[in-house]
Amino acid sequence: MTKACMKASRSLIRDFGEIENLQVSTKGPGDFVTSADRRTEKILIDELQKAHPEYGIITEETGIINKSNLKQRWIIDPIDGTLNFLNGIPQFAISIGYEEDGEIKSGVIFNPIMNEMFCAEKGNGAFLNNSRIRVSNKKLIQNALLVTGGPKAASKIKDKIFEEYANISKKVSNVRKFGSAALDMSYVACGRFDGYWQRELNYWDIAAGIIIVKEAGGFVDYFEEDQNLPLKKNILATNSNLYEKLKEFINKKDIE
């Protein structure tokens, strides 16, 4: 997984370098970004399939490959943080999770511009490049720096999401919106943020992040799950001290 990531990142870095030129062109970078997404995804799929052609794959751009293998699957987001990428902001990442029997067992999230590789494997801890990482030790939710994201332009629950954002903001030190769910979770894992929550995500946004946060000693949970939409997720991820409080705050309208 790390090898596939490193290979794909080479063309992604080149593509990111092009964005600045395209920003000032009349056509804009829109189509170019779509092709960068596809190019990155193709390299990832090719590399991963070389290692395990029999595994299933769920990707953002291509959809589901090898539908019959539900036991072992890779969950890929070639660029998480596309809007940042499109605007020349270096806050985006390649994200690959490996799922076995319905559970994420390992994950890699790589920001090629910052050269930060977050990875984890069940039972073996979480790492940023070669150093072991841990979630923060913050105990009081009023001191917590959280991160969230959304709503998407097409969201039907924008008001609810904004209301929740306002409510939670009043209860904590501050809330950031950085635009890459994969990196948001990685930052919780290494203690830069104390917690993260977000609605209306896709599985590939967070698959790798789940194991990275867990192996860094954090808690990950879903809320208001829709059993009919298994690839849609509402998620929270925190250190163990703040988990109960954040869960309580989510969707609570009457907190002041």
CB under 8 Å to 238, separation ≥6 — which residues?
135, 188, 194, 195, 196, 218, 219, 246
Residue 80 binding Ca ion, by CB under 5 A: yes
Q: Give least dist CB 195 to Ca ion, A.
A: 20
Residue 29 interacting entry, from ligand IPD, Ca ion, none, C-beta within 5 to 8 Å by type: none
Secondary structure E strands in the chain: 56-59, 63-65, 72-80, 93-100, 103-111, 116-121, 126-128, 131-132, 145-147, 174-176, 195-202, 219-222, 232-238
Which chain residues interact with ligand IPD by CB under 6 A? Answer: 77, 79-82, 149-150, 152, 179-181, 201, 205
Residue 184 binding Ca ion, by CB under 5 A: no
> Token pair 């490959």 is at which residue?
65
Residue, CB closest to ligand IPD: 149
Q: Give least dist CB 89 to ligand IPD, A.
A: 11
Q: Give least dist CB 26 to ligand IPD, A.
A: 24
> Token pair 């070669």 is at which residue?
130
**Residue with smaller CB distance to ligand IPD, 81 or 218:** 81
Point out which residues bind Ca ion (CB under 5 A): 60, 77, 79-80, 205
